[in-house]
Chains A and B, each alone.
Chain A
Amino acid sequence: MPECLHGLGDRLLIGVVSLLLLLPVLAVVVSALATDWYSGLVPSGLTLQWFARVLAEPAFQAALARSLLVAAGSVVLQVLVTVPAIFVAHCYLPWLDRWMERLMVLPYALPQVVLVVGLLGLYAGGPLPLTGTPWILLGGYLPLAFPLLYLPLKNNLRALRVHELLDAGHLVGAGDLVIARRVILPCVVPGLAVGLSMVFALSFAEFVFANLLVGGNFQTLAVYLFGQRTKIGQVTAVIVVIYFAAMWLSTLAALSVLRRRPG
């Protein structure tokens, strides 16, 4: 039956592309576990020695700590700065909301390397010398990661009919802040969790700002990894695996928040 064949073709296409997409990931994982993988199609043996070696490296530990710090700081900053702005814009300031929507395409019109040029011109000296310090990263990631937070949060808010909730609150004598804290905030936890986990992942893994604006003064994991790229393949593979494990764990944490609140 042609219908069956059709389904088969779809499955085949999806399967083949997915396999190809998984191939580099697989190569990294196998390489990280290989004793030696120079001359054959498969490694000669498996070992955890590379993990032990990388994890024991003080420079690696320091870089990992710095990246975690930047990522955590970035998440806190988004919660304090961006989340209230999105709320206020959604509930009361439609003009601001329209501008936020426009801000969504900005990462495509302004690649990071372009922003680097502008940021260097502004903060490499002058009254506010931020380059070479982690502060420029925290500031720079804020608008950069904004779309990642805005999209899922906005989807949640749209589904909520916030204005009816606020009106219903007024009828029982509850102020806007009470409604926001007791009703709206708990309802948007899923969008918030997804958005913040993506903010964390971006800030943790970002390379262009970290390398060009800060570089060796505050070496993050991405910059450290870049410096190790000419070393033995297994070492870089291990760092990539750890790098992904950290991002994966943050996503997992967000998902566990979602699971705990069904619906």
Chain B
Amino acid sequence: MPRPGLVLWAAPFLLAVLGFEVLPVLSMLAGSFVQGGEWSLGNYAALLSSRFYRGAFATSVNISLLTSVIGIGIGLPLSLALHRRSAPVQRRFLTLFNVASNFVGVPLALAFTILAGVNGVVTLLLVRSGLVRDFNIYSLQGLMLVYAYFQVPFAVLVLFPSLGALTPDLAEQARLMGASRFTFWRRIGLPVLAPSLIGSLILLFANAMGTYATAYALIGGGANLVTIRIGELVAGDVFTDPNLANALAVLLVLALLLPILVDQLLLRRNRA
């Protein structure tokens, strides 16, 4: 029975979403087309023609794509291994992975500084064992290591529920029909998981692309990532340009939305 007063119960929530999500996005979109107090495409032109900002996108995409692939690459076998264990074991480790994937930002950066900074145990171990000459956590490689730290457990969290589609009887049926393990994975396992693998990859990519605090706390403004540049443009010590920040943020959102939209279109076409 729909009654007219019901929406009132949701009104504060709708107002909050409007005020703190919808309007900010609209303000950002509008501001991105303003330069020097006039409507203009100048911000976008400036960003796209700038080597510096193009480099920021390249670095962000590189590190995000790579750590997403690493995340799935380790996360998938890990999820499958966990899937074969008993339910209590699964619950225990999923809790651990949940905590680990939320261990981000300033604390994570500090933990890695302690562990693998100039005087960290891992650095000392690596250097003394002669495996590497020197190891610098405050580099892009170091940043990737830290990203991998939250990407792998995050991959398990988003992949694990979808493994339910791969019931044990499918593998048993394939085996009875004479298929090898390899054939099973090529013809059935991976195709069945493919949609959720792609979906997970997109989520991991977005998760890495949007990361600001972890990178900022570890390397500071020196890391040429899109998020760091945005933060600097709105709150930098040297120079700020809110409207340029608006345009950069819009470009970042587009970069995140594009794979989501392509995936949705592909899914729809597959279903039809």
B120-163 CB mask vs A (1 if < 8 Å, else 0) is 11101100000000000000000000000100110000000000
B114 at the A interface (CB under 8 A): yes
Judging by beta carbons under 8 Å apart, are A118 and B105 in contact? no
Judging by beta carbons under 8 Å apart, are B10 and A84 in contact? yes
**The one of A13, A81, A109, A225 that contacts B81, using a Cβ cutoff of 8 Å:** A13
Judging by beta carbons under 8 Å apart, are A17 and B152 in contact? yes
Q: Given A24-B112, A93-B10, A103-B17, are A201 and B25 neighbors across the interface (CB < 8 Å)?
A: no
Judging by beta carbons under 8 Å apart, are A139 and B19 in contact? yes
Q: Which of B26, B84, B113, B117: most chain A CB closer than 10 A?
A: B113
Name the B residues within 8 Å of A65 (CB-CB). Answer: none
The residue on B at minimum CB distance from A23 is B115
Judging by beta carbons under 8 Å apart, are A116 and B260 in contact? no
Give the dominant DSSP class at B's interface: helix
For chain A residues 73-114, which have a beta carbon within 8 Å of chain B?
A: 80-82, 84-85, 87-89, 92-93, 96, 103, 105-106, 108-114
- The docked-state distance in angstroms from the alpha carbon of A236 to that of B218 is 13
Name the B residues within 8 Å of A233 (CB-CB). Answer: 113-114, 117
Judging by beta carbons under 8 Å apart, are B6 and A92 in contact? yes
Judging by beta carbons under 8 Å apart, are A115 and B24 in contact? yes
B201 at the A interface (CB under 8 A): no
Name the A residues within 8 Å of B25 (CB-CB). Answer: 110, 115, 118
- The docked-state distance in angstroms from the alpha carbon of A233 to that of B1 is 61
B169 at the A interface (CB under 8 A): no
For chain A residues 1-19, which have a beta carbon within 8 Å of chain B?
A: 6-7, 9-11, 13-14, 17-18
Distance between A123 CB and nearest chain B CB, rounded to angstroms: 8
Name the A residues within 8 Å of B78 (CB-CB). Answer: 13-14, 17
Judging by beta carbons under 8 Å apart, are A116 and B231 in contact? yes
Name the B residues within 8 Å of A89 (CB-CB). Answer: 10
- The docked-state distance in angstroms from the alpha carbon of A246 to that of B270 is 47
Judging by beta carbons under 8 Å apart, are B81 and A9 in contact? yes
Q: Count of A residues near B, CB < 8 Å?
A: 73
Judging by beta carbons under 8 Å apart, are A114 and B77 in contact? no
Distance between B247 CB and nearest chain A CB, rounded to angstroms: 10
Judging by beta carbons under 8 Å apart, are A237 and B246 in contact? no
B73-95 CB mask vs A (1 if < 8 Å, else 0) is 01001100110110000000100
Name the A residues within 8 Å of B108 (CB-CB). Answer: 24
A222 at the B interface (CB under 8 A): yes
- The docked-state distance in angstroms from the alpha carbon of A115 to that of B13 is 18
Judging by beta carbons under 8 Å apart, are A88 and B227 in contact? no
Distance between A137 CB and nearest chain B CB, rounded to angstroms: 10
B58 at the A interface (CB under 8 A): no
Judging by beta carbons under 8 Å apart, are B81 and A10 in contact? yes
For chain A residues 202-237, which have a beta carbon within 8 Å of chain B?
A: 205, 207-208, 211-212, 215, 222, 225-226, 229, 233, 236-237
Stretch at the interface among B43-51, B172-180, B190-198, B208-216: B208-216
Q: Which of A93, A119, A121: most chain B CB closer than 10 A?
A: A121
Judging by beta carbons under 8 Å apart, are A28 and B12 in contact? no
- The docked-state distance in angstroms from the alpha carbon of A13 to that of B81 is 8
Distance between B206 CB and nearest chain A CB, rounded to angstroms: 4
For chain B residues 25-72, which have a beta carbon within 8 Å of chain A?
A: 25-28, 31
Name the A residues within 8 Å of B121 (CB-CB). Answer: 27, 41
- The docked-state distance in angstroms from the alpha carbon of A13 to that of B102 is 21
For chain A residues 36-93, which have a beta carbon within 8 Å of chain B?
A: 37-41, 80-82, 84-85, 87-89, 92-93
Judging by beta carbons under 8 Å apart, are A110 and B21 in contact? yes
A to B CB contacts below 8 Å, 25 in the list: A10-B81, A10-B85, A23-B122, A25-B103, A28-B110, A40-B124, A84-B13, A103-B17, A106-B21, A108-B207, A108-B260, A111-B227, A114-B249, A116-B231, A118-B249, A119-B24, A121-B31, A205-B107, A208-B213, A208-B231, A212-B231, A212-B234, A225-B106, A225-B107, A229-B106
For the A-B complex with A85-B13, A96-B10, A117-B245 known, give 14 more contacts whose Cβ atoms are closer than 8 Å.
A17-B78, A24-B112, A85-B14, A88-B10, A108-B203, A108-B207, A108-B210, A111-B212, A115-B25, A117-B242, A212-B231, A222-B105, A229-B217, A233-B117
Return the 5 tightest CB-CB contacts between A and B, nearest first: A111-B210, A118-B24, A85-B13, A10-B81, A24-B111
